[in-house]
Amino acid sequence: MSTPESRLPVPARLAALADALHAGDDAQVALLLDSLHPAEIAGFLESLPGEERQGLWDALPRERHAGVLAELSQGVRQRVVADLPLDDLLAITERLDPDDVADLVGSLPDVRVEELLGALDSQDRARLEQMLAYPEDTAGGLMTPDAVTVRPDITVEVVLRYLRRRGRMPDATDKLVVVDRRDRFLGEVTLTALLTAHPEQTIAEIVNRDAPALAVSTPASEVAQTFARRDLISAPVVDAHGRFLGRITIDDVVDVLRAQAEESFLGMAGVRTDEDLFAPVLHSARQRAVWLGVNLVTALLAAAVIRAFEGSIERMVALAALMPVIASMGGNAGNQTVALVIRALALGQVSRRNAWTLLRREVQVGLLNSAFWGSAIALVAGVWFGAAALGFTAGLAMVINLITAAAAGFLIPVTLRRLGVDPAVASTVFLTTATDVVGFLAFLGLATLILL
């Protein structure tokens, strides 16, 4: 792999690849593709619009399809595999690790899954069906059955001889799994322990029996947290009887962590994670429309509040200019609390015991900031409209709305979580409804009482 191309840094090679594709220089495309890692090709593929994407896919040697497919994000992968001929699909499944095959099958429409299962021989089918039996977002869905297992009663020397005869080990093998005759999990031996042990020692003497084994039904988010907290590279998965089923490796956990982070980030803005940069426009529009519709309903709710005060606005039109200021400050302050609480919930740091303290603390922060910015708006509005009483009303409404925002910013995500709804996706809609309605109500209501 020491062509001149492979010596360029990756971004330069990707730029050259884009040029070569554009110019239709097939030889150069092939040379550049050869120098790139499957994950780099996958990332590049995602940045291409539809037609060019197909062109690059076709230019890719067939034996590399499997590797690239395994690295594609879900949305793009679905589109790529949807039209793949059965032969190609079979060839691809043969090259992938069992857990990656299961992921791939998860991206296929049901009809195509049936078709694929029908084309496999009975042994492969049984194996794949077993993998598919575990939900994707559990330890079972993340694990691969590939592992090196040893018995406790043999010596290090025998293990070393066995490994040499065996040859290549599965990716990310940092430990051997120690099991008894009935495949029950006993513990682990790290490769470093194996390498530093005396050849005559038995595995039983160097096994780590405290090594944590994950139950097959453990949720993926909990698996990720265990890995991150304990600095694991791989972890064994066991069934309810303690039998060893497979291993989870850090690379799959890194993918889980990235997917979770994306979900929260995009979810808060009302975008689904499987939305692809170049998905058909109609598809994207439809996916995003729902969120906009929900927001329209809540905005109309706020509009109804304003309409109830039409008489007041008619008599003092300055109210119309200031009322969005009060509402939007509440939304911004509440969002700060929401983001902090969602992070704390994800880290498991909110409990019955500290909830009250947390709520009180957020309200105190809201009180301080509302006192400060409430005074500011009172001053600005008073001077701008030449009416001290109007300024005072705006300031007071700001205090009410920022305290509401702090309380709602805490209570909404906590309640959603308790109801089993993802707080990252749904919190902001409820929050802005609360801060808009309370903001308009407080300001227009106070103005009606005080000023008119």
Give the footprint of its own copies on residues 194-213 (CB under 8 A). Answer: 194-198, 210
| Interface of this chain with its own copies, residues 217 to 246, rule: CB under 8 A | 227-231, 233
- What are 215's strand-pairing partners? 238
By CB atoms closer than 10 A (0-12, 13-18, 19+), residue 235 is buried
**Looking at 111-119, 123-131, 296-304, 415-423, which segment touches its own copies (CB under 8 A)?**
296-304
Nearest CB to its own copies, comparing residues 57 and 373: 373
Give the shortest CB-314-to-its own copies separation in angstroms.
Answer: 5
Least Å distance, CB 89 to its own copies, is 23
Nearest Cα to Cα of residue 131 among 106, 95, 107: 106
CB nearer its own copies, residue 133 or residue 269: 269
Instruction: From 35, 38, 41, select the one nearest 9 (Cα to Cα).
Output: 35
Q: Rounded to whole angstroms, how far apart are CA atoms 391 and 374?
A: 9
Which DSSP state fits 451? Answer: T
Q: How many angstroms separate the CA atoms of 266 and 83, rounded?
A: 28
Query: Which residue, 63 or 310, is less far from its own copies as judged by CB?
Result: 310
Which of positions 153-182 make contact with its own copies (CB under 8 A)? 160, 163-164, 166-169, 171-174
For position 71 contacting its own copies by CB under 8 A, the verdict is yes
Q: What secondary structure letter does DSSP report for 208?
A: B
Among 292, 388, 389, 450, binds its own copies (CB under 8 A): 292
Site string for its own copies, 45-64 (x = CB under 8 A): -xxxx---------------
Closest CA to 366 of 416, 332, 412, 319: 332
User: Which ranges of 167-309 would DSSP assign to H, the alpha helix?
Assistant: 191-196, 203-206, 220-230, 250-268, 281-308
- Is 282 a binding residue for its own copies by CB under 8 A? The answer is yes
Site for its own copies in 249-278 (CB under 8 A): 250-251, 253-255, 257-258, 260-262, 264-266, 268-271, 275, 277-278
Closest among 249, 277, 246, 431 to 342, alpha carbons compared:
431
Applying the rule CB under 8 A, the residues between 364 and 423 that interact with its own copies are 364-365, 368-369, 372-373, 376-377, 380
Count residues near its own copies (CB under 8 A). Answer: 122
- Position 7 contacts its own copies (CB under 8 A): no
Cβ distance to its own copies smaller for residue 89 or 207:
207
Site for its own copies in 297-316 (CB under 8 A): 299-300, 302-304, 306-307, 310, 313-314
Here the tokens at position 42 are: 């996958």
- Binder among 4, 24, 293, 420 for its own copies (CB under 8 A): 293
In DSSP notation, 270-319 reads T--TT--TTS-HHHHHHHHHHHHHHHHHHHHHHHHHHHHTHHHHHH-THH
Beta bridge partners of residue 246, listed in sequence order: 237
Q: How far is the CB of 52 from its own copies (least distance, A)?
A: 9
